[in-house]
């Protein structure tokens, strides 16, 4: 869908759809989608867990490509499935490859969600039950389907009403094997995760967008740097790029490097020959 129509949805049309989705996060969805498709060349489908009446699903629909599948999962209580279908019909009628999954997330297992995802996911928005265990459970079940460079967006990460979302997200990010996700951007009410090597790429690419130039700050959670977009205490792009460059090594193994280097010297192949 073209940028003008998406802009119109963000600025105007979305206000008529019931739900919760701040325009600053809508803008981040828009830019990250663009960077993913054009700069990072990440391929995959799009999924939302927690649809309500389709406010954010409609934007995801507009951002998805014609060959991509869109999956919306929800309890879909009362008439919310019909409301969502109406939202989609009104705001992104050209999106046809949509599957609505009426389910309780706690009943999902890695094996039984496979059928919904013929390909890996490039965007996954998690906005269903807001308590610690259900958030962590959704992450554990869904993350195996997310592509390298795929983006997981966690709703209400900063909401004091739901302290479990932050804990579940950070506990999930502390899992390093078989694969790690790290936070790389803070939106208005959401935090954005990706796989480590893409984090720096997305941060630098966001800074190059006019909307974020000189309006962000670099912060840190544990070993990861992340961009606070539209910061109250912004740094210049130059300052942020300097800070990023100073920490260019994306990760370090938790290993005693000095002791290992000594062993590498003592037990070197060429040591016995006296050549080193
Ligand atoms: C905050 S709303 C989603 C808002 C939506 N993304 C928007 O843009 O307005 C949360 C949704 O999660 C769904 N939900 C809550 N717990 C759930 C569960 N255990 N399984 C599936 N869906 C759930 C609710 O039915 C509700 O529609």
- How many structural domains compose the chain? 1
Burial zone of 109 (CB within 10 Å; 0-12 exposed, 13-18 middle, 19+ buried): exposed
151: how many CB neighbours lie within 10 A of its CB?
Answer: 28
Strands 224-228 and 217-221: antiparallel
Q: Is 221 part of a structural domain of the chain?
A: yes
Domain residues for the domain of 237 are: 3-250
Q: Is 271 in the pocket of ligand 1 (CB under 6 A)?
A: no
Q: Is 71 part of a structural domain of the chain?
A: yes
Q: Which of 58, 74, 133 to mutate to test the pocket of ligand 1 (most atoms within 8 A of CB)?
A: 74
Beta strands in 20-176 (DSSP E): 45-49, 70-74, 98-102, 121-126, 146-155
Q: Is 260 part of a structural domain of the chain?
A: no
Q: Quick one: which of 170, 268, 176, 183 has its CA closest to 227?
A: 183
Ligand 1 center from residue 51 Cα (angstroms):
5
Hey, whose CA ends up nearest to atom 16 of ligand 1?
Answer: 129
Instruction: Tell me the pLDDT of the chain (276 aa) as tens digits.
Output: 899 999 999 999 999 999 999 999 999 999 999 999 999 999 999 999 999 999 999 999 999 999 999 999 999 999 999 999 999 999 999 999 999 999 999 999 999 999 999 999 999 999 999 999 999 999 999 999 999 999 999 999 999 999 999 999 999 999 999 999 999 999 999 999 999 999 999 999 999 999 999 999 999 999 899 999 999 999 999 999 999 988 777 667 889 999 999 999 999 999 888 877
Strands 70-74 and 98-102: parallel
Q: Is 263 part of a structural domain of the chain?
A: no
Q: Is 128 in the pocket of ligand 1 (CB under 6 A)?
A: yes
Residue 220 maps to which CATH number? 3.40.50.150
Q: Judge whether 28 and 205 are in contact, CB under 8 Å.
A: no
Ligand 1 center from residue 128 Cα (angstroms):
4
Q: Is 265 part of a structural domain of the chain?
A: no
**What does the buried/exposed string (b/e) look like for 170-205 if buried means 16 or more CB atoms within 10 Å of the residue's CB?**
eebbeeeeeebbbbbbbbebbbbbbbbebbbbbbbb
Q: Is 276 part of a structural domain of the chain?
A: no
Q: Is 261 part of a structural domain of the chain?
A: no
Q: Is 226 part of a structural domain of the chain?
A: yes
């Amino acid at each position: 869908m073209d940028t003008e129509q998406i802009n119109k949805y963000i600025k105007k049309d979305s206000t008529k759809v019931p739900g919760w989705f701040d325009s600053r996060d809508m803008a981040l969805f828009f830019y990250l989608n663009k960077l993913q498709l054009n700069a990072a060349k990440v391929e995959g489908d799009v999924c939302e867990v927690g649809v309500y009446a389709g406010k954010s699903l409609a934007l995801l629909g507009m951002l998805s490509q014609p060959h991509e599948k869109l999956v919306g999962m929800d309890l879909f209580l009362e008439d919310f499935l019909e409301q969502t279908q109406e939202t989609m019909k009104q705001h992104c009628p050209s999106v046809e490859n949509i599957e609505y999954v009426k389910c309780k997330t706690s009943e999902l297992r890695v094996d039984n969600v496979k059928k919904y995802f013929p390909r890996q996911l490039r965007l996954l928005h998690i906005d269903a039950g807001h308590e610690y265990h259900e958030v962590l459970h959704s992450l554990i079940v869904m993350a195996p389907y997310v592509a390298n460079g795929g983006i997981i967006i966690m709703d209400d990460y900063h909401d004091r009403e739901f302290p479990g979302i932050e804990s579940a997200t950070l506990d999930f990010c502390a899992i390093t094997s078989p694969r790690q996700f790290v936070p790389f951007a803070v939106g208005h009410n959401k935090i954005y995760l990706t796989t480590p090597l893409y984090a720096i790429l997305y941060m630098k690419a966001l800074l190059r967008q006019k909307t974020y130039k000189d309006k962000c700050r670099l912060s840190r959670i544990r070993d990861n740097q992340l961009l606070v977009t539209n910061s109250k205490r912004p740094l210049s792009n130059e300052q942020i790029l300097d800070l990023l460059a100073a920490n260019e090594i994306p990760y370090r193994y938790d290993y005693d490097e000095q002791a290992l280097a000594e062993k590498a010297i003592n037990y070197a192949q060429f040591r016995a020959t006296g050549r080193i």
